[in-house]
Each structure stands twice: as structure tokens, then as C-alpha cells.
Structure 1
Amino acid sequence: MRNILTEEQKSSYHENGYVIGLAPVFSEPEVEQLNANLKQLAQLLEPGEKMSAIREWHMSSKWLYDVCTNPKILDYVEGILGPNFYMWGSQFFAKAPGSKDTVAWHQDAYYWPLHPHNSVTVWLAFTDVDEENGAMQVIPKSHKDGLIKHRSVSGDSVLTLELEEGTFYETDAKSLVLKAGQISLHDDAIVHGSPANHSTRWRNGVTIRYSGTNVRCDLSKAPQFKAYLVRGSDEFNYNPQGAIPTEKFARLPSDQHIASTDEVK
């Protein structure tokens, strides 16, 4: 049975810029296997690297590619993007118990050299995610305001840019609370970020990026960009196609990463 967004959920997404409360994509036994496989993949990290260094490894690891193209996830994404879309990005975000790491308030679309803005990010929880352990927060309806100027940021944020003060009201923030195996979806222009992990539990998840086939990447800014058509047909052929990996767990060489935020903006 397909997990399909209801008309009410679609309407809520377009109005607020995100949707949660969806039926889990993975069962408890499947979540256990996900975390076991993630542990194997993380063994490929070099000393000192954080989990966020596992970025676009769907290009090299068949296990991660299969996670990103799980039909249940694609069913939900299709409810927003329609029948024709591709997958192009993935990155793990993990916060250890007591971690001070934060994600500064930002908009995804500000970083990405993509046009037009027709992209969806899936946040797949590998652990339970709540306010105590640093769940992602969004500013509802902020995707309607267009792109907002960002500035450089330092400190505990894993990003290098953040929104300027006074461009939104942090008191409007909503936390995207998820159980392990659940996903949220958010618009590429919604203002979002996440606080530190004040709990004794891990907060782990992966972001997966999807765009309609009408979205073109500026390859002068992101020359390693690869599109993986995961639903429908590509009548535009704007972007280079990626090759499906064959090795279950493999590290992606750093020179094949899609351009970093500093390189894009």
C-alpha cells in the first residue's frame, strides 16, 4: 500500500512550507538495520571527521542510494513535486549526547545554484528526534517571502552562513518532532535551523534532496552535480545524469562532492 499525501497534507505543505505527522517509512526492525548499516558506512570516515562529512555518498554507496530512493519516500515526495523528479543530494547530520553543534537559521535555496525553486528536502530520522535532543525547527510560511540575505557565521554552527537578524521571528519556530523511521518534508525556501543537543541521547538523521525535472543546476558553480531520475521521465534533460553505484559501502572522494556552501554563495 502506497504512502500518499492527502489533499489536506499537500495544502498544509504549500501553506506552511513543511509537513510532518506522516506514517513511518521504516519499521522498528528496519530502523535497527538502518543504524547498523550507517555504523558500517561511518567506519569510512577519516579521524576527526564528523558525520556531516557523509555528503552525497549516495553516488558511491548502493546502500545509501537505496535509502534515498525508497519507494515509500518517493511516494510522499511525488505528492509535492508531481510525477517527474530527480534526487541529487544527501547528507547526514548527527548530534552526540550533549553536543553543542547547531545549525544556524538559513534557507536551503540560498545555498543551491538551482533554478527555478522547485525542490523538496526529506529529513529521515535514524533516531527519535525531539526538542530536547535538538530537533530541526522551521518558521512556518517563511518560504513565501522569497530568498533573504545571509551573512557569515562562526561558532558552533555546522554552516558558514546564517540569516541576518530581524529578517524573521524566532518565536514563530515549530520543532519537527519525529520518531525513528519517520520523515518530514520541507520547501527549499523555508527558514529553518536546529539547536544544540541537551539530552543524553544521539540525534541522527539524513537529509535527502529532490527536485522537479524542470530545475536546472548552474554547473559553473557545482560542476560535480548529478541528477538521478527517480520518478517519471525527464523531458528537459537539463542536468548530467548520475551512475547508480554498485558497491554497498564506499566513500565518495572529496573532489566529487557537490560545491560547498562557500563555493556556491
Structure 2
Amino acid sequence: MALSADEITRFHDTGLSFPHRVMSVSDATDYLAELEAYENASGGPINGKWRYKSHLVFPWFNRLMRRPAILNLIRPILGNDLMVWTTHIYPKEPLDSRFVSWHQDSAHWGLDSDKVLTIWLALTDATQENGCMRMLPGSQHNGQVAHQDTQNPNNILTRGQTIVDRIDEGKTVWVKLKAGEVSIHHVDMFHASTPNRSGQRRVGVAIRYITPTARQTRIDVDYATLVSGEDRFGHFKEEIAPEFTMSSDAIAFHEHVADLQGQIYLTNTDRNSIAGLQDS
């Protein structure tokens, strides 16, 4: 179901919108089962590079990001021509001490457009106790603000990037979601998440939607997947969907694209590789 006129107005005011049910709990559980089947076969929770650009190695994720219920939700904001720039898988294990500091997605993505949205889908319930996201409504109106890199080993973010200015946490909201529900947030939204203090695993996935008008400013070649409408600009090379989980061709293509994504994230650092890009 598409956003209503009132919901669109509120989104442009606050920069976020939630909760929206895009699938049944049963469907969310089925996607989770596909992830867990891979984890069981590979010997443990998903980690490292497979957590980002995940749609290039997991057919279930490539299908998920094309679901009409999700695309219909964001078309009133971005239009009919839609591309997926990247995807992430976000597990938080029980009693996990890791956290995400206050940051903006735009700080290290290198995209020249603010027509960029994240759909964050809960595959399990996301609660305050298990580390759901926290956002500052209206903060996207500040544009891109200054961040500093930090060295806290418990910070999940790639660079430990943290907004320099103090956040008025009294004005923030907890983005609590049931399995099968999504939130939408603007690329300039201030957001963070706390550790999982519960005994239950929290799993969500994020899909980063852009329009074909966007450009990558940090490297010469970038990739995206067209999921709706048409691309009349050619700013991004087309990605290859995986035929099956972790096929040799999919792994090779993911390796190439992930290396480019690492270059984007690590611009102006002395690092040249990333174990696992994380953002939310």
C-alpha cells in the first residue's frame, strides 16, 4: 500500500515514517529461515563482507528488494524510476555489547543526491531492549553535518563515524517494529542504535533506494540494480543477480563490487579494505 497524502507530508517534515507492514510475519520468518540456512551451513552468524551488497549473493534478498509492497510504499516519494544502491543485513546477537553511534548515512556514501531512502525491514521484532534504531525527527533538514571517526571497538560503524554536535536525545524516537514491518528514513536522518540487552536475536535488513539521477562522486564507476521504471541516465553499471546462494559467479561479482564500495566508504582514511560494512 502506498503512503497516504498525510504520511507523505509527515515524511517530508520529519524524514522518517513507520511502521508499515509490507509482508506477513510468516513471510518475514521465511526470509529469516533462508538466512539462517546459510548461517547453519557456513558455521555461524553471517559476518564480514556478506553483510553488505547482500543481494548479490543471496537470491532471497534480491527478490525481497523487488517486492511490490515495498516499491509501492516509496514511489510517492522517489517516483517510479527506482534503483537499489546497496543492501545490508543487520544481526544483533543476544546480549551483544555493540552499538551504532549517532550518524548520517550521507556522510560516507558519496552520492550527490538527497533523493535517497532506506527501507529497514524487521525479520524479527525490533524493540528498545534488543537494539532497535533511534532517530531524531526533522534532523534531515540540517543537511550533511560534520562527523568524526572514532576507535571504539564496540561501534559497529565502518569508521566509527559520529556526529560532532551533541544530540538532544529527549527529542528522539525509538523505531520499534514487528517482524514484517518497515521504517523509511531519509539519507540525512540522524540515527543510532543501542546494544542488544535481551536474550533474543534481532535481525533486520536494509535496502538503500536511489533514483537514476543520482551520481557517485568518490569513484569513477559504481553499481546499482534497477528495480522499477527505467534508467535514462546510465550513471551506474547494472548489477548481476545471483542464480543461487553463494554461486562462484556471484561471489566473484560481489568481490568486485564490494571492493568499490569499500573505496567509497574509506575515502580519506589510511584503510584499504573492509571486513563488513555496517550502518544501522
Partner of 1:103: 100
Q: Say yes or no: does 1:259 pair with 2:261.
A: yes
The change in CA–CA distance for 1:47 and 1:197 in structure 2 (over 3 A counts) is closer
Structure 1: give runs of 5+ residues left out of the alignment: none
In the other structure, the counterpart of 1:164 is 164
Contact persistence 1:52–1:93 (CA under 8 A): no
Distance in 2, matches of 1:48 and 1:205, equals 13
Shift of 1:100: 0.6
Q: In the TM superposition, what are the counterparts of 1:19-30 in structure 2 within 5 Å?
A: 19-22=17-20, 24-30=21-27
Q: Deviations over 1:183-224 (max 9, x none)?
A: 000000000010011111111101110001111123627x4x
**CA 1:230 to 1:48, structure 2 compared with 1: closer, same or farther past 3 Å?**
closer
Task: Give RMSD over aligned pairs.
Answer: 2.1
In structure 2, the partner of 1:188 is: 187
Instruction: Please name the residue that 2:14 is paired with.
Output: 16
Contact 1:63-1:249 at 8 Å conserved across structures? no
Distance 2:44 2:62 in 1: 24
- Quick check: 1:6 aligned with 2:4? yes
Query: 1:88: which partner in 2?
Result: 85
TM alignment of 1:1-265, pairs within 5 A: 3-22=1-20, 24-43=21-40, 50=47, 53-155=50-152, 156-159=154-157, 160=159, 161-166=161-166, 168-218=167-217, 220=219, 223=221, 225-250=222-247, 252=251, 253-257=254-258, 258-260=260-262, 262-264=265-267
Q: Could you tell me the TM-score, scaled by structure 2's length?
A: 0.85
Cα gap change, 1:12 to 1:45, in 2 (>3 Å): farther
Cα deviation for residue 244 of structure 1 reads 2.2
**Cα distance, 1:83 vs structure 2:** 1.1
Q: Which amino acid aligns with 1:256?
A: V
Moved more, 250-259 or 93-102: 250-259
CA distance, structure 2, for counterparts of residue 255 and residue 228 of structure 1 = 15
1:92–1:206 CA contact under 8 A, matched in 2? yes
Change (3 A) 1:264 1:118: farther
The offset of 1:249, in angstroms, is 4.6
When structure 1 is superposed on structure 2, of 210-219 and 131-140 the one drifting more is 210-219
Tell me the matched-pair count. Answer: 259
* Paired residue secondary structure (1:83): coil
Amino acid at match of 2:122: A
Deviations 1:52-100 (A, max 9, x none): 7421021232221001111111111212111111112111111111111
What secondary structure is seen at the aligned counterpart in 1 of 2:28? helix
Farther off after superposition, 227-236 or 52-61: 52-61
Output the CA distance in 2 between the equivalents of 1:264 and 1:65. Answer: 28
1:214-249 per-position Cα deviation (integer Å, ceiling 9, x unaligned): 11123627x4x3121111111222111112221245
Identity %: 25
In the alignment, the residues of structure 2 paired with residue 48 and residue 241 of structure 1 have an alpha-carbon distance, to the nearest angstrom, of 29
Shift of 1:119: 0.4
Deviation at 1:25, TM superposition (A): 1.5
